[in-house]
Every structure is written in C-alpha cells, then in structure tokens.
Amino acid sequence: MGADFLRRCAPTFHKALDRRAVELRTPTLFTTDIACVARTAAAEICQDVQLRAGEKIFLRSLGEKLVAQRDNAVVAELPNPPAEYLNFVQAGGGIAGAEVKVVHPLSGTAEIAICE
C-alpha cells in the first residue's frame, strides 16, 4: 500500500517539446534569407525621374526583366538582372520591396537592393 500511495501522490511528469525552440531550428523559419543571391543590381533610371538613396520602391517582374516602381509610376528598369535576383522576385509573386542604395546621376543608373 505504501508504494501505490506514493505513485498516486507523486507529481506526474509530462514530456513536452519547447515549440519555439523547434521553430528556431527549422530551416524554413528564415525563408527570406537569400545569402547566395546578389543583394544589389544596377538599374537604368527613366528620364525625368529623381531618385534618392534610401528611397523605398517596388520591384516587379515583366518577363525576363524587372521594373522599379514608385506607387504606379515606373522609375527604373533592370533589363538584364542577375538570374538569382530575378528568381527571388518571381518566387515572391512577381513583386518585391526594394530600396535605392546608390544613385549615379552622370550615368543615369542606380543600385537597387532587395529589402528583407
């Protein structure tokens, strides 16, 4: 009777997983991490458009090229983007957030980076 009583009164041990720790170990948690993808690409600025470094824009895929848009206006074109850059935008539904890193006014180009 003494051993049975101790088993019934002892606190039960529930084996459980820390779900947050499991999420941190899963490789799909950081799906937007594109370590092997080129971070910036050169774009040709459309005429009569002023871009500023740090400005937030959108990248949209049109076939094999990308266009940079501010609201609904096209501000730059990327006629030959790197393949992994284009694949990343197309994998995101054909649109991605981007940021203007550097503007080269003499050559009429800008360096555009994908935002995470």
Question: What span, in angstroms and rounded, lies between the C-alpha atoms of 56 and 69?
Answer: 9
How many distinct structural domains can be found in the chain? 1
What are the residues whose beta carbons fall under 8 Å from the beta carbon of 97, sequence distance 6 or more?
Answer: 56, 57, 58, 59, 114, 115
Task: Specify if 81 maps to a domain.
Answer: yes
Give the range of the structural domain holding residue 83, as residue numbers without chain letter.
Answer: 34-114
Task: Specify if 22 maps to a domain.
Answer: no
Task: Specify if 63 maps to a domain.
Answer: yes
In this predicted model, what pLDDT tens digit does every residue of 51-80 receive, in sequence order? 999 999 999 999 889 999 998 999 999 988
pTM over 0.85: no
